[in-house]
A = this chain, B = another copy of it.
Amino acid sequence: MGELDLIQEIRRGSGRPGGAVKLGIGDDCAILRLPAGHEVLVTTDFSLEGRHFRRDLHPAESIGHRCLARGLSDLAAMGAKPMGAFLSLALPREMLSTARGRRWVEGFFRGLRELADRSGAPLAGGDTAESPAGLVLADITLVGSAPTGKALRRSGAKAGDLLYCTGRLGGAAAELETMFARGRMARALPEKDHPQLFPEPRLAVGTGLLRRGLATACLDLSDGLSTDLAHLCDESGVGAEVEEALLPLHPLAAQLGAERALHAALNGGEDYELLFSAPPDVRMPKALAGVPITRIGKLVRKSQGITLRRTDGRSEPLTSGGWEHFAAAKRI
């Protein structure tokens, strides 16, 4: 497999132009069609070996899936629909010259493509290079659309709003813990119920919240509830009270015991669930697009800070202790 083969592999992922992609790979830029009355949303996310994944622990399919999921989750958080994905991918030389390397690359694209097809996010372009450091280096850009002026933001929450999250929390960190403990790569597994290996971006929940006008503020839980809630509070100028008893723990987290489960739910990160607020008089459905919605607390005045009410009734400050699995990495 030479570089041309790699590019062919990427082209396979891109499919034929259609939908929002008017012109895909092969020119200096891709061309995307924006639906009338919509505006353009853009997000970029690194997936760097040794920072965001480990090649000895994450199967290739998982790494491809997670790379795309990071960007899709940012679109979901704003209620946007994907138009196209752009992948910059640097690979170690041996991946282009050995059968084992070729299998890895095929697995990576299988994982990425499966999620891309299912999410309506065709690969529309990118860049390739030989990695300068023997490490797999990926950067994904997602371009999406939302009705003009309607995108969900971090900044619209008000004191008195209720606080909700989707799905279950702490599963990604709990599964990672079992991967570390086992110390070797998980076999390629079916994609259900693997919150670390195959997180599911909540695109249909995001567009549902936007269409039905349910949320006053929203973001995705990539860094962990404690860190991401602080972002929502900062941007909205509010405080928050989270109730431990209400947190929907992922079964994998619950197995860790109460304190470690709580830590995973608050600080684990990478769950890629949505965290959002809504006025108290909104009748929130129990589920959206098949994903459970759980009230986990409320927003309060900024001066009251961000607190966690424990199950014994005590309140304690909830400080940011988010995602640092491999080393510091920060979204801007």
Residues in A lying within 8 Å of B, measured CB to CB? 3-4, 7, 10-11, 22-23, 25-34, 39-46, 48-52, 73-75, 77-78, 80, 83-84, 86-88, 90, 124-135, 137, 139, 141-144, 146, 151, 153-155, 219-220, 235, 327-332
Contacts and interface: CB of A to CB of B under 8 A. Distances in A.
A62 to B, nearest CB: 18
Contacts of A78: 27-29
Contact of A127 (B30, B44, B132, B144): B44
Contact of A74 (B4, B28, B87, B153): B28
Contact of A135 (B26, B43, B77, B132): B132
A129 B27 contact: no
Contacts of A153: 23, 27
A46 B132 CA distance: 12
Contact of A26 (B44, B87, B132, B154): B154
A31 B41 contact: yes
Given A42-B124, A48-B132, 16 more contacts: A4-B330, A27-B235, A29-B43, A29-B77, A32-B41, A42-B143, A44-B141, A46-B90, A48-B129, A49-B132, A51-B132, A86-B141, A88-B139, A127-B331, A137-B137, A143-B143
B43 A28 contact: yes
Nearest to A14: B332
A132 B325 CA distance: 13
Contacts of A327: 130, 132
B51 A7 contact: no
Contacts of A144: 29
Contacts of A88: 44-46, 139
Given A26-B154, A130-B51, A39 B43 contact: no
11 contacts: A31-B39, A33-B39, A34-B34, A34-B39, A42-B84, A42-B124, A46-B129, A52-B129, A129-B328, A130-B329, A139-B139
Contacts of A143: 40, 42, 143
Given A154-B26, A332-B126, A44 B86 contact: yes
A77 B132 contact: no
Given A39-B32, A78-B29, A153-B27, A133 B130 contact: no
Given A3-B330, A133-B135, A332-B127, A141 B29 contact: no
A79 to B, nearest CB: 10
A25 B124 CA distance: 24
B41 A29 contact: yes
Given A42-B29, A220-B28, A139 B127 contact: yes
